[in-house]
Structure 1
């Protein structure tokens, strides 16, 4: 029986990758005049936690410098996102979850400040019992730990849950935790999401296949 829904945030609850790409481009231009293509962003940046990512992007920089650069990039992103639109069908799904008393959790590689900002910008903060962020856990996605922690917080078994993810590290993390993972095709192709471990791929939360799956699990 379905008891819990676990959601990634960026690209899943709201389509933010264009804004993150803009913030990264501005940061790299400010720092050393570098360019960042959409293809590079999709392949190397999207969905990754800042610790490993910034050490890779700014090889030779100290850990303190990488933290400062990450904070600058996230501040740029928040400035670009004063308000955000929930993905189509999300409010419908959250209302269904409320009516069925399903546990709800956000599991994100985004920093805490970003997660709180995005949920507030969508008016969704009150919907989620737990918001788990990578910087407060021992290991980020693609490790399964964030999703295993989410299940633990909700008191749910993996077989009683659905996870929603748009990135390849996120799909790997959720499916690695044993959760049936629904890929949201905002930032990756359906083929890549399926190859990463998604059991179903949807364009948004209105997809009939998603609602058929939910009905089958209840």
Structure 2
């Protein structure tokens, strides 16, 4: 299914999926506002090695070159002249630094627990689909109290190709035994939105940190500020009112 951004009202965009059976979520920037922590870790570690002649990277550089990307892609972009193993080791060390600081500073996106309760109340299948390393993803999901919420956690590096390719989202559908025609996605990066659209699903874009223009150009169906956004709840209300929810009783192996 292909839905051009803003071509339909939010509620009609989702009711076209009737009956909805599953919801998929990215993690970084979608469940929690983690990008500032990633930015801090990259900035400090790059400073330590004198990257960019000792000039700290700015947020624009981070958004353009790092945010939402798989770690292998980040390594190649940051260090095109380095041996790949050395570049990957740097990125791995940065992820370890991120995990050390995340415990004290991780902030959920406003309304995420309200939305998760709605998803559970509707009996929908749900998966987390991320380019983050599994250790990062499971730590963040646990800290947010969502370990029992997600039936499946799909990691980009464990697929044949990571986002922006559709493989992680297609794998989530397969493991949930769900159909792209009855599933929608929450994402916050252009890379993730492109992956969801390529997998044939409408993607609701969160304007957590990335420019709205890039999210729209990537193919977001509509944009929301957070999970308290009235635009989102109007769309979900239309689903309920129209009886467009498929309550899924089948179990999914975690």
1:190, CA displacement in angstroms? 2.3
Please name the residue that 1:45 is paired with: 66
Per the alignment, residue 82 of structure 1 pairs with 103
Distance 2:194 2:178 in 1: 19
**Separation (CA, whole Å) in 2 of partners of 1:161 and 1:209:** 18
For 1:20, which of 31, 38, 52 is the aligned residue? 38
Q: Is this contact kept in 2: 1:159–1:180, CA < 8 A?
A: no
Q: Does 1:10 align with 2:31?
A: no
Q: TM-score, normalised by structure 1?
A: 0.95
Count of paired positions: 218
* TM-score relative to the length of structure 2: 0.82
CA RMSD of aligned residues (A): 1.3
Q: Superposed, which structure 2 residues align to 1:49-88 within 5 Å?
A: 49-83=70-104, 84-88=106-110
Q: Which runs of 4+ in 1 moved over 4 A?
A: none
Matched, 1:215 2:217: no
Contact 2:166 2:195 in 1 (8 A): yes
| Offset, 1:33 | 4.0
Give the distance between the partners of 2:57 and 2:213, measured in 1 at CA. Answer: 24
In terms of mean alpha carbon deviation, does 82-91 or 125-134 score higher? 82-91
- Contact 2:183–2:201 under 8 Å retained in 1: yes
Higher relative contact order (CA 8 A, sep 6+): 2
Q: Which has the larger radius of gyration?
A: 2
* C-alpha distance in structure 1 between counterparts of 2:77 and 2:230, whole Å: 40
Which secondary structure state, in structure 1, belongs to the residue aligned with residue 49 of structure 2? Answer: helix
1:169-188 correspondence runs (5 A): 169-188=191-210
- Where structure 1 has 5 or more consecutive residues not aligned to the other structure, the ranges are none
User: What displacement does 1:124 show?
Assistant: 1.4
Contact 2:34 2:107 in 1 (8 A): no
Contact 1:17–1:187 under 8 Å retained in 2: yes
